[in-house]
Amino acid sequence: MRYTIEINDDFDLKKIFECGQCFRWNETETGVWSGVAMGRAARVSFDGRILTIADSAPEGAENVWPEYFDLDRDYRAARQAVAVDGYMAAAGEFGAGIRILNQDRWETLCSFIISQCNNIPRIKKIVETMASCFGDEVAFRGETRHAFPSAAAVAALEPEDLSPLRCGYRAPYVIAAARAVASGGLDLDALSRTDEDTARRTLKALPGIGDKVANCVILFSLRMGGAFPVDTWMKKALSRHYPDGFDPAVFGQNAGLAQQYMFYYQRSFTEKENAS
């Protein structure tokens, strides 16, 4: 179905989809993004005022997409709030339009397990292959797309079944996480109603999940804005701009957004350095 909504806030699809939080969206025409999320194949565009979404499901778009794009949150205000110094003001200005997506929890968990020690193009390829091998078919505009496979579907597999994905030593981690979720031993919905520390502890009890992956899952799917994932890019940014140490708690529930601004800003510099 087709769904439109007017947006009077920071909103930039390119930044949202390319800031490292999701792996299934691609710019298929200028300004038009295609992907599959929450079991729906979709095309999304934004003209600066109106967000237009066409998706494969007959109904429910108005319940799914506003939450997915976090439309209830005032990002302009949040961006002001995290501009605590010159650096953060610049990072926020540069990253203005980034939003933290509220993604499917199992898909996010699985994707970030795969992400470890991997670059974005390769993560995208692995996730896409996983969907096409094991996910349900979704027909959309004459094409066949694939939903991300359910935890139950993946739980029924063995690590060697994932060999087409070429995800190497991460395969047993993916299966173990799928089994934990499918069995009910790990209830991600319930986890989203606990607190950040409980969520982090619970996630880290799974094999192959450390602080970085746990924080990504917490921030991008459990709707806890205080999580602050630190990877090698963030280490670079933090050591350069805050050599005396840094406590993300100063940002409170905006810490995750502050992290996204810093991350996106830092990557832009490194890309320039690599290009030159």
Partner DNA sequence: GAACAGGCAACTC
Partner DNA sequence: GAGTTGCCTGTT
Q: Rule CB under 7 A: say whether 157 interacts with DNA.
A: no
- Per CB under 7 A, the list member of 15, 16, 20, 248 interacting with DNA is 20
Nearest partner of 98 among 267, 270, 259, judged by Cα: 259
Which residues ranging from 165 to 194 are in contact with DNA (CB under 7 A)? Answer: 166-170
Smallest distance, DNA to C-beta of residue 140, A:
26
Other residues' Cβ atoms within 10 Å of the Cβ of residue 171: 21
Question: How far is the C-alpha of 122 from the C-alpha of 119, rounded, in Å?
Answer: 6
State which residue, 119 or 276, has the beta carbon closest to DNA.
119
- And the tokens for 87? 């650096």
Distance CA 17, CA 14 (A): 5
Which region, judged by CB under 7 A, interacts with DNA, from 76-84, 87-95, 118-126, 241-249?
A: 118-126
- DSSP of 172-229: HHHHHHHHHHHHTSS-HHHHTTS-HHHHHHHHHTSTT--HHHHHHHHHHHS--TT---
Stretch that binds DNA, among 87-95, 139-147, 182-190, 203-211 (CB under 7 A): 203-211
Site for DNA in 43-102 (CB under 7 A): none
Select from 24-32, 80-88, 102-110, 226-234 the region that touches DNA (CB under 7 A).
226-234
Closest distance between DNA and the C-beta of residue 230, in Å? 9
The helix or strand, by DSSP H or E, that contains position 95, with its residue range, turns out to be: helix 86-95
Nearer to DNA, 56 or 215 (CB): 215
Task: Decide: is 164 part of the binding site for DNA (CB under 7 A).
Answer: no
- Report the residue from 204, 223, 246, 253 that binds DNA according to the rule CB under 7 A: 204
Least distance in Å: CB of 14 to DNA? 13
DSSP per-residue letters across 26-45: EEEETTEEEEEETTEEEEEE
User: Phi and psi dihedrals of 184, rounded to 5?
Assistant: 90, -5
Based on the shown chain and the rule CB under 7 A, indicate whether residue 207 belongs to the binding site for DNA: yes
**Cβ distance to DNA smaller for residue 169 or 242:** 169
As a whole number of angstroms, the distance between CA 139 and CA 137 comes to 7
Size of the site for DNA (CB under 7 A): 31
Mapped onto helix, strand or coil, the DSSP state of residue 17 is helix
Residues 233-262 that bind DNA (CB under 7 A): 233
The residues binding DNA (CB under 7 A) are: 20-21, 115-120, 122, 163, 166-170, 204, 206-214, 216, 231-233, 263, 267
